[in-house]
Amino acid sequence: MSKTFGQNDIKPLLNFGHQHYGENKVQECKLKWQDLKLQYENIKLHMIGKLQTNKVRDCVKYFDFIHSVDSKKLAKKISDEQIKINKKIKIFIQVNIGNEDQKSGISPENLEEFYKKCNDELELKIIGLMCIPPNDRNSDLYFSKMNKLLNAIGLKELSMGMSNDYLKAVEHNSSFIRIGSKIFGNRG
């Protein structure tokens, strides 16, 4: 995750050949990456944070992946915007794996129905599932549940794990991890 870090912080990684970067705000992405995407053609931008429907138009324009699709309204808006500009984004469904009231995401019980709507009706390119597990030091349990959900639906990609638990996430087949502070240091 390169959120809150500027171009000068990111350029050494770009010059080294790193291609995938996560952001959690559309406006920050637009300001930071617009010129860099022209200079570095292989950059792939990942929208990690909560996406509001009024930001979808710019999100679809700048991002290559969205990790936080968590409602039918948002999925419909993404579908509509993709059609307008003829671009398909790779999408992860955000699962509220701990059924926490304060977190976004589709409940595990509603996941199959939501996936079918996104895939069949809205023709979104759903490639996997994403979660942010509860902060109860039991991430193994939640990562294991996510892996089972992924297999039950028949998808291939898991987006889970951050700087504090990414090794456990990888043990449970996470293919996309978010380790910004391990790379850039703590945010100021």
- What is the DSSP annotation of 56-105? HHHHHHH-SEEEEE--HHHHHHHHHHHHHHT---EEEEEB-TT--TTS-S
Q: How many residues does the chain have?
A: 188
pLDDT tens digit string along 50-74?
999 999 999 999 999 999 999 999 9
- Gap between the Cα atoms of 39 and 52, Å rounded: 28
pLDDT tens digit string along 107-125?
999 999 999 999 999 999 9
Q: Are 68 and 130 in contact (CB under 8 A)?
A: yes
pLDDT of residue 88: 95
Q: Are 2 and 180 in contact (CB under 8 A)?
A: yes
Which residues lie closer than 8 Å to 118 by C-beta, 6 or more apart? 69, 75, 91, 93, 124, 126
Residue 173 scores a pLDDT above 70: yes
pLDDT of residue 111: 97
Structural domains for the chain: 7-184 (3.20.20.10)
pLDDT tens digit string along 131-149?
999 887 788 999 999 999 9
pLDDT of residue 84: 96
Residue with tokens 């009024």: 54
- Gap between the Cα atoms of 136 and 35, Å rounded: 40
Please give the average per-residue pLDDT across 91-97, as a whole number: 97
